[in-house]
Amino acid sequence: MKACVIGAGVGGLATASLLVKNGWSVDVYEKEELLGGRALSCKIQEGYENLLKKFEMKIVATSPDLQQIYDLAADYKVDLGFHLIGGGKKGACVRLLRQFGIELNFVGSRLGFIGDKIDYPILKAKDKFAILPRILQLLFTRKSKIEEMKKISMEEMIKKYGRGKLKLILELFPRLITTVNDLSRISAGETFFAQRELLGGDPVVYPYGGLNSIAEAMAEYIEKNGGRIYLGQKVNKIIIEDGVAKGIKIKRKEKEYDVIIFTLPIQHIFTIADEKEFPEEWVEYVKNLKPTGSLISYHALNKLNKNLLNKSFVFIERNVDFEGNDVVGMIDFKMSHESSVTPRGKYLVQSYAICTPEEAKKRKKAMELKKIIEKNLEKLIPDYEKHMEWNIHAAIWHLDGVAKTIDNEKPDVVTPIKNLYIAGDCVASKGVGVNCAADSANLIAERLI
Ligand SMILES: Cc1cc2nc3c(=O)[nH]c(=O)nc-3n(C[C@H](O)[C@H](O)[C@H](O)COP(=O)(O)OP(=O)(O)OC[C@H]3O[C@@H](n4cnc5c(N)ncnc54)[C@H](O)[C@@H]3O)c2cc1C
């Protein structure tokens, strides 16, 4: 069987890896010259702003100006923005890599909380002990009950169970997991299970050598197993005849395939597939799926307290004028010379603050988020400005392909068109972000192999 994968992000590469592992002939087409999609790593140089734009991101502030940062940051390697992988070794991405015999090294840590004082880790042994009975109860819950719970919001759940530390945990983690601030939109069923992963050793990890080491390792696996990856090759059209996907068109060339796997953000499917070929309800449903947004910040420091190195901290800014009334975010210290992404003696602090895609598009809102991030960074490092060499703040309105919320049900990997499948972080697989994109490959493999 011959498959074509459109897009070399985590979803596309994971799917291609599983297919070649099972003896399929696979061609991957990627429009950029870089592997990794939204999980790519790059240099901050001429063309950086343009690259961000291609992934629905916009720089809202820098200091000094970007031209000067090109010189200051010449020896840095960065990702498109804040990127940590949830669940550590238990997360879908790391588990899938292990299936291919790929063992990458990760810097992992627990999570601290920036409150009136700094609380690291936020979940102490005694807290886990207090929360555990609730988690165990959920683990043994019947499947029908879990389905029911998916319709209950975290807001209701907090009213029922939220006391003391558990209340704070329930207010924070579901928002961090979904990149959505509004607790009334977050499903209790979905997030409780994701929270189990946060109870383990390293709830958040970052790969040594930068995020692109994940894409590069998978690409090497694909090519070693007979697959082909074509960079700089934009697919212009998916050829569909009588409800069946037959092939693709690149420039003027047509190529036939048995199966086509689409991995772009799902809302963009009709840019390369004729919407008239799909049932009207599906077209309407897909066009209305909402992604998630954030403000992403980098602060490059030339000094860092060793106590902070490799750790991550979360914050909650209450009663602010954003959907959900609170803004939740994270500040992370895993990008350093040790993780091979900065020059010796330099540290890159990566942070994000959650907002809706609409809020991310408004400069005023993005600047308010910048203030929130920097206020919390100051609580961790009161004199951070003294050691700061440069900073960049970018808004993103397509962070997670489809928000995992009650009102926004993620689509299945199977489309109404025969032989056309979707993979990536838009589909209803386990986890969110990178994990969701990686796990979508398992769902495709279940259907095809
Ligand atoms: C700034 C930012 C921060 C994030 N932070 C986190 C985080 O902390 N943790 C986490 O888990 N997730 C995070 N995410 C989300 C995570 O990066 C994505 O969920 C994941 O990378 C999506 O992978 P994908 O394969 O589904 O899609 P993509 O990576 O978008 O892959 C689609 C690919 O298709 C290519 N393409 C598009 N059009 C065409 C065409 N016509 N022909 C050929 N190729 C085409 C694109 O160039 C792209 O490479 C973040 C995302 C961003 C942008």
Among protein residues, the one whose CA lies closest to atom 26 of ligand 1: 424
- The domain that holds 173 is classified in CATH as 3.90.660.50
Cα(39) to centroid of ligand 1, in Å?
6
Q: Which tens digit of pLDDT belongs to each residue from 48-59? A: 999 999 999 999
Query: Domain check: are 285 and 297 in the same one?
Result: no
pLDDT score of 195 more than 80: no
Quick one: 308 and 363 in the same domain? yes
190-194, 216-220, 247-251: segment of lowest average pLDDT:
190-194
Ranges 77-86, 111-120, 158-167, 287-296: which has the least confidence? 158-167
The token pair that represents 366 in the structure block: 């993005």
Q: Given this model, what pLDDT does residue 201 score?
A: 72
Same domain, 257 and 271: yes
Count the domains in the chain.
2
Please provide the average confidence, as pLDDT, over all residues in the chain. 93
Specify if 71 maps to a domain. Answer: no
Q: Residue 330: pLDDT band by 50, 70, 90 thresholds?
A: very high
Amino acid identity at 414:
V
Domain shared by 343 and 195, yes or no: yes
Q: Are residues 232 and 307 in the same domain?
A: no
From residue 242, how far is each of 201, 238, 413, 419, 420 by CA, in Å? 51, 13, 20, 12, 13
Q: Which of 20-29, 56-65, 100-109, 140-149 shows the lowest mean pLDDT across its residues?
A: 140-149
pLDDT band per the 50, 70, 90 thresholds, residue 138 = low
Which of 396, 418, 437 is the last residue before a domain boundary? Answer: 396
The answer to whether 207 and 102 have CB atoms below 8 angstroms apart is no
Both 372 and 250 in one domain: the answer is no
**Domain region containing 108:** 85-97+104-208+290-396
Name the pLDDT band for 124 (thresholds 50, 70, 90): confident
pLDDT (average), residues 382-396 = 98
Instruction: Flag whether pLDDT at 140 surpasses 90.
Output: no
Distance between Cα 390 and ligand 1 center (Å): 26
- 414 and 370 share a domain? no
119 & 172 share domain: yes
Q: Per-residue pLDDT for 198 more than 70?
A: no
Task: Evaluate whether residue 52 is within a structural domain.
Answer: no
* Residue 56 covered by a domain: no
- Ligand 1 center to 38 CA (angstroms): 3
How much distance in Å is there from the Cα of 9 to the middle of ligand 1?
6
Residue 45 lies in a domain: no
- Mutation pick for ligand 1 pocket among 35, 264, 266, 404 (CB with most ligand atoms within 8 Å): 264
Which atom of ligand 1 is least distant from the CA of 11?
Answer: 25
CA-nearest of 288, 341, 392 to 52 is 392
Of all atoms in ligand 1, which is nearest to the CA of residue 7?
Answer: 34
Please report the pLDDT score of residue 167 as a whole number.
87
**Model pTM score:** 0.96
Amino acid residing at 437 = A
- In terms of domains, do 169 and 238 share one? no
Q: Is residue 50 situated within a structural domain? A: no
> What residues line ligand 1, using a CB cutoff of 6 Å?
6-12, 29-32, 37-39, 55, 80-86, 234-235, 263-264, 272, 296, 396, 399-401, 424-425, 433-435, 437
Q: Which atom of ligand 1 is nearest to the CA of 234?
A: 42
- In the reported structure, the alpha carbon of residue 399 is separated from the centroid of ligand 1 by a whole-number distance in angstroms of 8
- H or E segment to which residue 293 belongs: strand 293-301
pLDDT at 196: 61
In this predicted structure, what is the pLDDT of residue 147? 73
For residues 257 and 302, membership in a common domain is answered with no
Sign of CA dihedral 369, 374, 375, 376: positive
Of 298, 303, 309, 308, nearest in space to 390 by CA:
298
CA 13 to ligand 1: nearest atom: 25
Residues with Cβ within 8 Å of residue 140, at least 6 apart in sequence: none
Atom of ligand 1 minimally distant from the CA of 14: 25
Rounded percentage of the chain residues whose pLDDT exceeds 90: 81
Q: In terms of domains, do 267 and 162 share one?
A: no
Q: Is residue 63 part of a domain?
A: no
Start-to-end C-alpha separation, the chain: 10
Q: Which residue owns the Cα nearest ligand 1 atom 34?
A: 7
Q: Would residue 65 count as lying in a domain?
A: no
- What is the mean predicted confidence (pLDDT) over 417-421? 98
pLDDT at 142 over 80: no
> Which atom of ligand 1 approaches the CA of 432 most closely?
11
Mean pLDDT of 174-190: 91
On whether residue 360 sits in a domain, the answer given is yes
Closest-CA residue to 77 (of 406, 342, 409): 342
Do 123 and 227 belong to one domain?
Answer: no
